[in-house]
Structure 1
Amino acid sequence: MSNILRVELTDDQHGELHALLARRDLTRYSRQRAECIRLLDRGKAAPEVADLLECNVVTVRAAVHRFNGGGIGALPDAPRPGRPARVLGGVDRAALADLLDRSAAAGIAWTVPALRDWLRGQRGVEISADWLWELLLRDGFRWKQTRGSLRHQADPVLQQAAKAQLGDLRTYGWRRTRAGGI
């Protein structure tokens, strides 16, 4: 019994493999498995294929076993478990952008959880605050935390009077000396 892995593709499988490799949405590992099969079909040995693709021989052998178990259709990655990511549609994004633009003009600040609640109540869209934050950043929305200062609302005359009063309270020329006598 030989340990040499051999793959011989039929004409139909050649066509399927070519179509698979032509796909632009193929993940890195799916493409690597398909290339393993293509190179093995051309007569290369598993260590040669591993060297050409800069991977481990175990990876090449796993691709062959996967191919033997399910053909060309078994080479792409299996679907990921769990719920697919929520996508905020173009209409909902436009409504959100309009809301944010109108709010900015009116001086109204929104938090991401409040925006999420607005989307849920007004648009019927369920989305997490973290994912909404990411989408807003991708769309170019930036905001900064407001300061807790009221300086801009203070009366300049009163500010000058307070500065003058504080200036009179300062003691000039007084130096604190260290224990060393300096």
Structure 2
Amino acid sequence: MARQALEIRTDLHTADALRRMARQEQDRRAAMRMLALPNAMEGMTRAEAARLAGMEQQALRDAVIRYNAEGLSGLHDRPKPGRTPTLTEGEQATLRAVILRGPDPACDGGGDWTLPMLCRWMEDHFGKTMHPDNLSRVVRRLDLSRQKTRPRHPKADEAAQAAFKKGGCAMP
């Protein structure tokens, strides 16, 4: 039983246009698929077209099916599912707001957030545990740096500091 060859859509792009787009494509894997299609369109055997593009014949067949169904976007890799994040979008927004607000010395203890303190805060408020190293990645993804603010003593007198800045110490 002879297999029927898959037809490649020619109404979307010409072989020359596909080669031009392949040269400008940033994604190497998509570019190789874009180069294999014109070779097959112009009469080269599928095996030869796949070999010249550095792929298997089955990969070229899959690329043809996806190109026929989705156009150029079908030649790009699909996003991988990956692991679901520990914190939801809402929890991440809450965490960001809490970090920017700063800790309450009476409840949270301390003048500045540390990663272990934030882990304890998350466990108390969200009921989720996370290692400080993993929380560090989450904090960086929230566009927050590890830089700490200048330390402030909780019993510092703001009025005395402001008076000192304005006039300095009076000389006798």
Larger radius of gyration: 1
TM-score (norm 2): 0.45
TM-score (norm 1): 0.43
